[in-house]
């Protein structure tokens, strides 16, 4: 399954935040939208960075709640690794496993067009495996 097919199954678009937003504000946003990461962008198109719940937990653990008034740009990971609409779920799984992160912004011609989480990839693979199983069962049973 390719990224463009996975994107069609997702209802919500990608959530972006400006680099000037505070860590407290982005935490509230991620909590209310029930998401684990946001793309940091000044114009909603170019991905300047990515901020995941892990970054917030790391800062809280290292510096305490004083980090809540810091800006997103202070704690984000700059220049995030992205994927394209034509990449496959298998390729994404490999990148996520090797790089040890769970989110990949989808970038097309330098413009952010979506976000794929590890949950989306697992769901896509499970659905592929179910289809493969059905096809193989059909072949064995002669259907
Ligand atoms: P995650 O597992 O996605 O919650 O992220 C773990 C760490 O990797 C955090 O420091 C993130 O900022 C960083 N990270 C997440 N996704 C990406 C990405 N696509 N490119 C670069 N860094 C990332």
3-state secondary structure labels for all residues of 90-119: HHHHHHHHHHCCCEEEEEECCEEEEEEEHH
Q: What is the pTM assigned to this prediction?
A: 0.92
Ligand 1 centroid to Cα of residue 128, in Å, is 26
- 96-142 pLDDT, tens digit per residue, is 999 999 999 999 999 999 999 999 999 999 999 999 999 999 999 88
Residue 58's pLDDT band, with cuts at 50, 70 and 90, is very high
Give me the domains of the chain, ranges plus CATH numbers: 3-141 (3.10.580.10)
Q: Which residues pair with 52 in a beta bridge?
A: 37
Atom 14 of ligand 1: nearest residue by CA position: 101
Model pLDDT for residues 12-24, shown as the tens digit of each residue: 689 999 999 999 9
Task: For ligand 1, say whether the CB of 54 is within 6 Å of any of its atoms.
Answer: yes
């Amino acid at each position: 399954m390719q990224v463009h097919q996975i994107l069609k199954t997702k209802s919500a678009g990608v959530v972006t935040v400006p680099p000037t937003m505070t860590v407290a504000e982005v935490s509230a946003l991620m909590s209310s939208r029930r998401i684990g990461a946001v793309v940091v962008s000044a114009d909603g198109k170019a991905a300047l960075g990515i901020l995941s719940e892990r970054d917030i937990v790391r800062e809280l653990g290292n510096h305490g709640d004083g980090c809540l008034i810091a800006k997103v740009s202070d704690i984000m990971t700059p220049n995030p690794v992205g994927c394209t609409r034509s990449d496959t779920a298998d390729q994404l799984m490999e990148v996520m496993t090797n790089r040890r992160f769970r989110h990949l912004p989808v970038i097309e011609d330098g413009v952010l067009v979506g976000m794929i989480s590890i949950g989306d990839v697992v769901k896509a693979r499970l659905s592929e495996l179910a289809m493969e199983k059905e096809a193989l069962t059909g072949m064995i049973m002669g259907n």
